[in-house]
Amino acid sequence: MVIGAGLAGLRAAIAAHNSGSNVAVLTKVHPVRSHSNAAQGGINAALSHRGDDWRDHAFETVKGSDYLGDQDAISVMCREAGDAIVELEHMGVIFNRDETGHLGTRAFGGQQKARTFFVADFTGQAILHVMYEQIMKAGIQVYEEWFVTDLIMEDGECRGALAFDMINGELQAVKAKSVILAAGGLGRAFEPTTNALICTGDGISLAYRAGAPLMDMEMVQYHPTTLKNNGVLLTEAARGEGAYLLNANGDRFMSKYAPNMMELASRDVVSRAEQTEINEGRGIDGCVLLDLRHLGRETIHEKLSYINEVSMDFLGIDLAEQPVPIRPGMHYQMGGIKTDVNGATTIPGLYAAGECACVSVHGGNRLGANSLLDTIIFGRRSGEIAALYAKDTADKKISESIIAKEEKRLSEIQARPDNGDSPAKIRLEMGTTMNENVAVFRTEEGIQETRKVLENLRERYASVPVQDKGRIFNTNLFATLELGFMLDCTETIVAGALERKESRGAHTRLDYPERDDANWMKHIVINYTTDGPKIDYQPVTVTEWQPTKRSY
Amino acid sequence: MEITINVKRFNPEGNNAEHFFQDYTLEVEDYSTVLDALIKIREDIDGSLALRCSCRAAICGSCAMRVNGHAKLVCKTKILDVSTDGSNFITVEPMGNLPVIKDLVTDMKPFWDRIRAVKPWIQPDGPEPTEEYVAPNEAMLHLNGVMGCIMCGACVSDCTVLEIDKNFLGPAALAKAYRFVADPRDAEDHERLRAYSEYGGIWDCTRCMECVQVCPKGVAPMDRIMGLREKAIEIGFDNNNGSRHTEAFNESIRNSGHLDELRLPVKTFGMGGLFVLGSMLNVPAILSNIPNLIGMLPVAIRAFRRGKVPPMIHKKIHGYEKVKNIFEKMESKK
C-alpha cells in the first residue's frame, strides 16, 4: 500500500507493481492534484557522458546541506540520478532540449555546473502527469480521495491503514503487507507558505504516533523568492536563467554575501541575505526585488511562462517590464520520518519516501531541483524493497475492533459542542507564530515562546468543533484531523530547533551564530512519548567529504 | 470591500436532497480571489460548505467551478474581475456536465474515464535507446502548450457538445490525445488517429470555442482537436462525415467563393461522387450513408415548404478567382 500519490508515491507504486506486487495507492486528493505539481525549476542529475560527474553533484549537495546530509545516501541519490532522468524521458516527459535535440539543462543554486533538467518552469507538473500516465497504463488501483486517519499497528508491525472514503463517507480498514508513506510535506503548519492546502504533515504525524522516529525536523527551508501576500512561489530557475536580486537602493546585494555565486548561492544563504537587507532597512515594504527585465520577453515566454502568469494573476506585474517584490517564505521540510537508503523506517512493514521522509539527503538545507530527484530515486527504492518485504511476509490478521474504535473517535470529534475555536483559527495562530519565531532567524526566546503558544493551542484543539455533521465529503472534519497532524509536526520542529544550539543550514540561531561541528555535527532524532517529544541523536555519515567552512 | 457570494449548494445527506442557492456576505480585500472568499466562508462562516482546492496557484487543477455561469479556476479569478458591474454579487456553481457529489464538488469519474479512453501514455516503436530520444526542441516547446493542461475540467464543464452527447470524448481528453500524436517519440499515430476519428471523437466537436474561452491555462483544446483533424485527413482517415464535410466546404469555397448549401449535406454523407464530375464513385460509402441522407429528408421538406431551399444552380461570386488565389497561396506555403 502506498499512502500519497505525488511523485514519490506514484514512483513507489510503479516500482512495487513492476516487482510483482499487488499495489493499492490511497490518496486524499486525485494524483494529479498532488503538490509535486508545484516543483517548477527542474531536476538535477550529473550525466557522465556530458562531462559531468555525480561526485561533483554529491559534493555540492553535501556542502548545500551544511554537512548534515548523510553522504552514503547522497551518493546513492546522485549516482542513480542519470539513469532516472533517462527513464523519465522514456516514460514520456517532454524535457526541454538543446540545439542538437538532446536534453537541455539550466543552472541552479549552489551548483557550479548547469545540471538541472527541466520542462519550462512547470517541471513537477510535467513529470507528475507523465507518472500518472504510467499508473493508468499499468492499471494500478488508486483509491482517490481516501483520507488516511491512522496506521494499523499490531505486534509492533505496520499492517495497513484506516482510511475514510471521502465520497462514500465510509471508514475502511485497508490491510497491507507493507506500507509506504509518501504523504508529502507540512508547509501549512506555517503561514504564509508556498505549500498547497493539502500539505499538512499527515504522513509525518502518522509515523511519529506509530513510534517511528523523526529526524532533522528543525531544518525548515525558506525559499528566497515568494510573493508577499499569499506566499506563492517564483522558481529559482528565474535566477538560474540570470535574474537579479535588488534591494531598495537598486544594488545586487548578493555581492556582499556570496561574491562568487551571487544570486545562485544556496537557498539558506540567499534567504538570510534577503532577510538581513529587509531587517536593516534596505527592503521595500518587507520585500526585496527580483528583476528579470534583462532576460527579455522571449526567454521569459519560453522558459519562465508559469511564473509570469502567476505574477500577472496576483500582482498584475509583467516580469519583462517590472521587477517583482519577493521575500523568503516557508517552502520545504528537510526533516521527516527517519529512513535508511531503501526508505525503511524502524517499524517493520513501514517505509517512507519523498518530503515526509528523511534519508537524510538534504541535511540542513536542500539544493534546488534535488527534491524531485529525491522523490524519484527513493520512491523507486522504497517501492522495490517494500515489494520484497511483502513477498516474504505471511498474511496476518488485524483485530476486528479497530474500525469501531476509530469510528468512535471520529464521531466524538464530530459530536463536540459548537463553541470552541475553529480549526482554521488555531491553524492560523500556529502558522503565524511559527513564521515569526521559527523562521530564517531564530532565538531561544522566540522558540520558547512558540512552544508555549503550541501548548496552549493543543489544549484548545481538544475542543475544536466540527460544524459539518455529515459523512460525505466532510472537509471540515478532515481540516480538524489535519490540524492535529500539524500540531505534532510543529511540536517536533520546535523541540529540534530548541535543542540545536548552533547555526547550520536553514537553522540560524542568533544566540549561537556559528556552526559547531565539535558538538553538533549530528542529527537530532525525535521519538513520540505521551509526555511529549523525546530527543535522541544520530551520527552523520561521512564518507568522502570532511566538513570545511562553507562559502559561495 | 463587502461582497455577496451566491453559492449553489447540494447536500446528498439532507432530508430532501435538492440543489438550492445560499447567499454569503463577507469582507474581502481588493486583491482577493474567488477562492479566497470561498475559503473564508468555509473557515469563518459555514464549515459545511464543500469544495476542492489545494495549490492556490493554478497548477493543481482542483478548483474549477462556474462563476457567473462560466467555468473558471477560482484560485486565479479575482473578485474584482467578475463583479465588474459594481453589484459586488457573484454566483458560484459546480462545474457542468458532471454529476454533483456535494455543493461545489463534482464527480470527476466521467472526466477520467474519457481521459483513459484515449490511451494517454506514450507508445514508442522498437527497443528504447540507451540514452534519451533525440527530438527537436521546437517539437517539445510545442508540446509544452498542451502539457500545460492541469486536467481541471473547465473545458468539459462548458462543452456544448457534451451537454447533449455524453459519448463525446470531450475537449480535455482530445487535447491530451493531441499531446501523443504531436510527440515525435510516439509511434502509434495511425492507430490513435483511426480511433479518434470514430463516433464521439474529433469530428464531433462543433467548434463553438467555449473550451478555448474557459481554459485557464491557454491550452486551447479546440485548436488541438483541429490539429488532430488535419493529421487524420493527411494520414488518410477521410472516409467519414467529418472529413468529407470539411473537404466539401473547402471545395465549394475554393471553386465558387461561397458555400453550396444544397450539396454540402450530400457530400458530407458520402455521395459527393455522384455530383462532382471526375471524382470516383465511392459505392460502399454511399451505401452506408443512405440512411443518413434519408434522415435529412424531413429537414429538406421543411426547408422547401418555407421557401428556404438554396438555389439549385450554384453561381460563382464576383471575383471568385481571387478566392482561388488565396487558396493557392496558402497551399504553396504548406
Q: What is the pLDDT of residue B279?
A: 44
What's the pLDDT at A505?
A: 98
The residue segments making up the domain with residue A424 are 401-520
Mean pLDDT, residues B203-213 taken together:
97
Is residue A265 classed exposed, middle or buried when 0-12, 13-18 and 19+ CB atoms within 10 A define those classes?
Answer: buried
Highest mean pLDDT among A378-387, B242-251, B255-264: A378-387
Distance from CA of A354 to the nearest CA of B (A): 18
**What are the pLDDT digits (tens) for A81-110?**
999 999 999 999 999 999 999 999 999 999
Residue A344 within any structural domain of the chain: no
User: Does the beta-carbon distance from B57 to A32 stay under 8 Å?
Assistant: no
How confident is the model over A138-190, as pLDDT tens digits? 999 999 999 999 999 999 999 999 999 999 999 999 999 999 999 999 999 99
Q: Is residue A304 part of a domain?
A: yes
**Strand-pair partners of A214:** A337, A526
Q: pLDDT at position B288, please? A: 62
What CATH number is given to the structural domain containing A252? 3.90.700.10
Is residue B123 within 8 Å of B187, Cβ to Cβ?
A: yes
Q: How confident is the model at residue A49 (pLDDT cuts 50, 70, 90)?
A: confident
H or E stretch covering B2: strand B2-9
Q: Which residues contact B226 (CB under 8 A, 6 or more apart)?
A: B207
Catalytic residue among A11, A106, A239, A267: A267
- Residue B277: the pLDDT is 39
Residues 6+ apart with CB under 8 A from A397: none
Would you state the pLDDT for residue B287? 65
Q: Which residues on A lie below 8 Å from B62 (Cβ)? A: 29, 33
Helix-helix angle A123-138:A371-391, to 10 degrees:
20
User: For position B230, which CATH number holds?
Assistant: 1.10.1060.10
A480-520 residue pLDDT tens: 999 999 999 999 999 999 999 999 999 999 999 999 999 99
Which residue in the set B42, B103, B140 is minimally distant from A94, CB to CB?
A: B140
Closest by CA position to A82, among listed A378, A382, A377: A377
Give the closest of B44, B108, B120 to A30, CB-based. B108
Confidence grade of residue B278 (pLDDT, cut at 50, 70, 90): very low
DSSP 8-state assignment for residue B318? T
Q: Which of A122-131, A173-182, A357-366, B79-88 has the lowest mean pLDDT?
A: B79-88
**What pLDDT does A180 receive?**
98
Q: How many CB atoms lie within 10 A of CB A23?
A: 26
Stretch A268-294: mean pLDDT, rounded?
A: 97
Domain membership of residue A35 (yes or no) is no
Q: Closest Cα partner for A550 from A217, A272, A328, A258?
A: A258
DSSP string for B17-75: ---EEEEEEEE--TT-BHHHHHHHIIIII-TT-------SSSSS---EEEETTEEEEGG
- Domain region containing B329: 241-333
Q: Is B72 found in the same domain as B16?
A: yes
pLDDT digits (tens, 9 = 90+) for B92-128: 999 999 999 999 999 999 999 999 999 999 999 999 9
pLDDT-based confidence at B272, cuts 50/70/90? very low
Question: Which of A273, A294, A328 corresponds to the end of one domain?
Answer: A328
Does some domain include residue A442?
yes
Residue of B43, B59, B147 lying closest to A38 (CB–CB): B59
Taking the C-alpha atoms of residue B18 and residue A91, their distance in angstroms, rounded to an integer, is: 45
Domain at B84, CATH number: 3.10.20.30
CA–CA separation, A538 and A525 (whole Å)? 7
Number of domains within chain B: 3
Contacts of A471 in chain B (CB under 8 A): 13
Name the residue with cell 467555468.
B71
Assess contact for A207 and A181: CB atoms under 8 A.
yes
- Closest Cα in chain B to A427: B43
Q: Do A89 and B133 touch (CB under 8 A)?
A: yes
Do B98 and B126 fall into the same domain? no
Q: How many residues does chain B have?
A: 334
Please state which of the ranges A192-201, A308-317, A400-409, B157-166 shows the lowest mean pLDDT: A308-317
Residue at a domain's end among B79, B106, B133: B106
In three-state secondary structure terms, B225 is helix
Kindly report the number of other CB atoms within 10 A of residue A534's CB atom: 12
Average pLDDT along chain A: 97
Q: Is the pLDDT of residue B276 over 70?
A: no
Show Cβ contacts of residue B84 under 8 Å, excluding neighbours closer than 6 positions.
Answer: none
A200-214 tens-digit pLDDT: 999 999 999 999 999
A406 and A304 in a common domain? no
Residues B262 and B322 in one domain: yes
Q: Which residue has the cell 466546404?
A: B249
Q: What percent of chain B has pLDDT over 90?
A: 69
Q: What angle do CA A439, A441, A444 make, to 5 degrees?
A: 95
pLDDT at B273: 43
Span A496-505, pLDDT tens digits: 999 999 999 9
Position B306, amino acid: R
Give the chain A residue nearest B13 (alpha carbons).
Answer: A470
Number of domains in chain A: 2
Q: How far is CA A200 from the centre of its chain?
A: 10
pLDDT category, A318, cuts 50, 70, 90?
very high
Residue type, A536: D
Claim to verify: residue B197 and residue B301 sit in the same structural domain = no
ipTM: 0.95
Non-local CB neighbours of A64 within 8 Å, separated by 6+ positions:
A110, A266, A362, A363, A365, A366, A367, A370
Is A532 domain-assigned? no
Report, in angstroms and rounded to the nearest whole number, the Rg of chain B calculated over CA atoms: 24
Q: Is A267 a catalytic residue?
A: yes
Q: Identify the domain boundary among B86, B106, B126.
A: B106
- Res. A127 pLDDT band, cuts 50 70 90: very high
Asked if the model's pLDDT at residue B195 lies above 70, the reply is yes
Do B131 and B162 belong together in one domain?
yes
CA–CA dist B250, B244 (Å, integer): 10
B185 and B255 fall within a common domain: no
Q: Are residues A410 and A306 in the same domain?
A: no
B284 pLDDT more than 60? no
Mean pLDDT of A280-297: 97
Q: Is the pLDDT at B14 greater than 90, yes or no?
A: no
Examine the fold and report which residue of B200, B235, B270 is the final residue of a domain before the chain moves on.
B235
* Separation CA A83–CA B132 (nearest Å): 10
A43 assigned to some structural domain? no
pLDDT of residue A419: 87
Is the same domain home to B199 and B298? Answer: no
The reply to whether residue A474 touches residue B107, judged by beta carbons under 8 angstroms, is: no
Radius of gyration of chain A (CA): 22
